[in-house]
Amino acid sequence: MSLLATVSSADLPEGAQGAFEEARARLGPLDQAALAAAWSRQASLTKPPGSLGRLEDLAAQLSGIAGTCPPPRPLPAVVGVFAGDHGVVAEGVTPWPSEVTAQMVGNFLHGGAAVNVLARRVGAEVLVVDVGVAGALPAGAGLVRAKVRPGTANLAEGPAMTVEEATAALDVGAALASRLAEAGAACLLTGDMGIGNTTPSACLVAALTGLPAERVTGRGTGVDDERLARKQAVVAEAVRRLPADASALEVLASVGGLEIAALAGYVVGAAAARRPVLLDGVIAVAAALVAVALAPACRDYLVAGHRSVEPGAGAGLEHLGLTPLIDLDLRLGEGSGACLALPVLDAAASLLAEMATFEGAGVAQGPLA
């Protein structure tokens, strides 16, 4: 049976109240005994020590997250595609109209978007969540309706949303992550849809890393030089306006987005449920920066799926100390890069679980002294 069919969401967003704080309170460190067991088992497997490179680190991380060595496999995985619109599109920061957000939600529900194709290839389920789409959405099943408000305000003119709205979106993401984990999801992938959302993402990356706007603001869906200059100016000005003592929650409300806030909640909710979070592109990285600022221990539950072309993604990952698994010049979002990286995660866990030991296979354990 589909994992998603068992997840209740009819009470959202109201029923999610307090879910983020609850997750933050529950969040703990990686299990040190499982981590040590993973490294010890790794040393006993039929290969030269360290020869599986970062797959060995990943397998240990997955063990520490789950609290068992080897970690559970297969990894029933869900891509949470959080959707929302952005008032800042009025500044000309993207060539696409906001209506495309709702239209793409329809496309996700019909299985025709890139993320649907990739999720099918890697055996992940796609969960589409409306936290802030402005336009009319298709009727019918398959969509989690958790709208906090129909799109943010224009962050170039004032705060994108109130702290209460940002909190409600954090709660939606955290509640869904915890319900997905309860329903059997072993790995949570991040996805997004929101025309204009590379602009608030750049704002968050700049604000939370301290890097200049020009360094972290890119072309998004593909703006020309003139629009890029405007976008960089909008990001620089929005970040400049932030009070020096603004909390991470205030920064999120001022220059973030509803789907980004929900993704930050989803990251913390997944980590609190001891599930790995596989990050997608710049929107996910912005959300992860917010999540780590609000709940630092969630950092160890993150895996960077890929390095998006969007410059804020690489900069944000570096700030988080994460090295992406793949680098294919993607700049799509939706969860596409996270899906592509899922088989790598699965491979790391399977190798640790299934490889023979030197002793079991009768292979001499070297190297010779």
Ligand X SMILES: Cc1cc2ncn([C@H]3O[C@H](COP(=O)(O)O)[C@@H](O)[C@H]3O)c2cc1C
Ligand Y SMILES: O=C(O)c1cccnc1
- Cα–Cα dist 178/185, whole Å: 9
Q: Which residue in the shown chain puts its C-beta closest to ligand X?
A: 220
Residue type, 239: V
Interaction partner, residue 7 (ligand Y, ligand X, none; CB < 5-8 Å by kind): none
List 39, 57, 67, 96, residue binding ligand X (CB under 6 A): 96
Residue 59 identity: A
- Three-state DSSP state, 231: helix
173 token code pair: 């993401």
Each residue 216-255 as x (binds ligand X by CB under 6 A) or -, in order, gives ----xx----------------------------------
The token pair that represents 251 in the structure block? 């920064």
DSSP 140: S
Residue 313 partner contact from ligand X, ligand Y, none using kind-dependent CB cut-offs of 5 to 8 Å: ligand Y
Structure tokens at 323: 């090295």
Active site includes 22?
A: no
Which two tokens mark 318?
């570096």
Among 280, 288, 314, 324, the residue binding ligand Y under the rule CB under 6 A is 280
Q: Please state the closest distance from residue 175 (CB atom) to ligand X, in A.
A: 22
Q: Are 208 and 252 in contact (CB under 8 A)?
A: no
Q: What is the closest distance, in whole angstroms, from the C-beta atom of residue 198 to ligand X in the complex? A: 3
Pick from ligand X, ligand Y, none: which does 34 bind, CB < 5 to 8 A by kind?
none
* 195 binds, options ligand Y, ligand X, none, Cβ within 5 to 8 A by partner type: ligand X
Residue in 259, 334, 354, 359 annotated catalytic: 334
Interface region with ligand X, contact rule CB under 6 A, candidates 62-70, 196-204, 311-319, 359-367:
196-204
Q: CA 41, CA 29: separation in Å to the nearest integer?
A: 21
Cβ proximity of 56 and 27 under 8 Å = no
> Quick check: 56 binds ligand Y (CB under 6 A)?
no
Per-residue x/- track, 301-320, ligand Y (CB under 6 A): -------x-x--x-------
Q: End-to-end alpha-carbon separation of the chain, Å?
A: 54
Tell me if 235 contacts ligand Y by CB under 6 A: no
3-state SS class at 152: coil
* 358 makes contact with ligand X (CB under 6 A): no
CA dihedral over 285, 286, 288, 289, signed as positive or negative: positive
- 152-176 core/surface letters (b: 16 or more CB in 10 A; e: else): bbbbbeebbbeeebbbbbbbbbbbb
Tell which one of 85, 91, 171, 192 touches ligand X (CB under 6 A): 192
Cα gap 199→195, rounded to integer Å: 10
Window 39-68: residues binding ligand X (CB under 6 A): none
CB atoms within 10 A of CB 319: 18
Q: Smallest gap, in angstroms, from Cβ of residue 67 to ligand X?
A: 33
Q: Among ligand Y, ligand X, none, what binds residue 209 when CB lies within 5 to 8 Å by partner kind?
A: none
Find the binder of ligand X among 87, 132, 173, 196 (CB under 6 A).
196
In whole angstroms, give the CA distance from residue 117 to residue 28.
35
By CB under 6 A, name the binding residues for ligand X.
Answer: 94, 96, 100, 104, 192-199, 220-221, 332-334
Catalytic residue ranges: 334
By CB under 6 A, name the binding residues for ligand Y.
Answer: 198, 220-221, 280-283, 308, 310, 313, 331-333
